[in-house]
Amino acid sequence: MMKKIDVKKKMIFFGILVVLLLLFSVFCDYLTPYDPNEQDLSIAKQAPSAEHLFGTDRYGRDMLSRVIVGSKASIFSTLLLVAIITVIGTIIGIICGLSGKVVDVVLMRIADIFLAFPGLVFALAIAGVLGGGLHNAIIALAAVSWPKFARLARSQTLAIKEEPYIEASKLAGTSTIKMVFKHILPNIIGPILVTGVLDIGTMMMELAGLSFLGLGAKPPIAEWGSMMSDNRSMLATQPWIVLTPGIAIFVSVMIFNLFGDTLRDFADPKSSRRK
């Protein structure tokens, strides 16, 4: 019981951090000390100082402002990506779980094909074909990441579809759509949401990875992965230009991962005890 209370406290603490991070991203445009896109070549590559806390990049843009504004592209793109794969995966999983037979076999074999390739490599190939840009990077990662949620939703649906209350609902003449929203979804959404939250950190890293490889945000949009990529040749000479967005990724991924972990422990105390 004490353990559960501890977990709850942790979850609330990390939940608050997540909310703060999201609020920070929402209002980031109002928090920047300088225009993040304004170039001033006369102050290019300045080391961190009182005037520019994170220094300036090769175009003389304030790094602190760019890191702050970069949170919007980095965090919201990740949330959008996770939302897309969660929704699409869940819909496909429920369809498979409920319909069975040919539809299930076909959709699950398609999911197997996507799972057969290493995720990031496959995403790289898709992003390469679609071309650069944050939207295409999101599409590429979504294309390779939905099967995990489809499998989870399918297994959960299969587990509860034989439950007496579902049978009773069927006998009462409830339509399939109504049954899904009233009985199935509320009972399977817990593990899916936990998995989704746990995936935010991973997806943020993968999105930053694609951006780092030049397949993400286009200039002058500030996005942490592409900021690291664009400036990586200065790692040895002006390290702050590369390290500051890197630290931002590290902190954000850590907050989301820790929140996801405690959320999982809270939702499933058995797994926490097993640890």
Partner 1 sequence: MKKKITMLVAVLMVAVLAVGCSCQGGSKSSANKTMVIGDTTFNSENSEESVNPHNTYNGWACIRYGIGETLVHYTDDMNLEPWIANKWENDGGNNWTITLNDNVKFSNGKAVDAAAVKECFEHMIQAHDRAPSDTKIASMEANGNVLKITTSEPNPALMNYLGDPYACIIDMQSSNMEQGIVTGTGPYVVQEMVTDDHLTLTPNTNYWNGTPKLSKLTIKTISDGDTLSAALQTGDIDAAYGMAYEAYPNFENNKYQFSSIQTSRTFFTSMNMESPVISDKAVREAIAYGINKEGFVNTLLNGHGVVGAGAFPDGFSNFGGDKVKNAKKYNPETAKATLEAAGWVDTDGDGIREKNGQKLTIKWLTYPSRQELPLLAESAQASLKDIGINVEINNTANHKQFRKDKSSWDIYASALVTAPSGDPLYFFTTSCLPGSDYNYAGYDNPNVTKLVGDLSKEFDATKRGEIAVKLQDEILADDAYVFCSFLQMNLISKSNVKNYTAHACDYYEVTADLDIE
The residue ranges that bind partner 1 (CB under 8 A) are 37-39, 41-42, 44, 58-60, 131-132, 214, 218-220, 232-238
In this complex, which beta carbon is closest to partner 1, that of residue 45 or of residue 161? 45
Least Å distance between CB 230 and partner 1?
A: 8
Residue 189: other Cβ atoms inside 10 A: 15
Q: Could you tell me the smallest distance in angstroms from the CB atom of residue 228 to partner 1? A: 12
Judged by beta carbon, residue 58 or residue 161, the one nearer partner 1 is 58
Q: Where are the alpha helices (DSSP H) in the chain?
A: 2-26, 28-31, 63-71, 77-99, 101-116, 119-130, 134-161, 164-171, 176-179, 185-212, 224-230, 240-267, 269-274
Q: Pick the closer one to partner 1 by CB: 59 or 266.
A: 59
Judged on CB neighbours under 10 Å (0-12, 13-18, 19+), 115 is middle
**Residue 246 Cβ, how far from partner 1 at the closest point, in Å?**
15
Supply the Cα-derived Rg of the chain in whole angstroms. 22
Nearer to partner 1, 132 or 260 (CB): 132
Q: Which helix (H) or strand (E) holds 123?
A: helix 119-130
Note whether 62 and 82 are within 8 A (CB): no
Longest dimension (CA), the chain: 76
Q: Indicate the residue among 135 and 161 with the shorter CB distance to partner 1.
A: 135
**Minimum distance, C-beta of residue 136 to partner 1, in the bound complex (Å):** 12
Nearest approach, Cβ of residue 200 and partner 1 (Å): 29
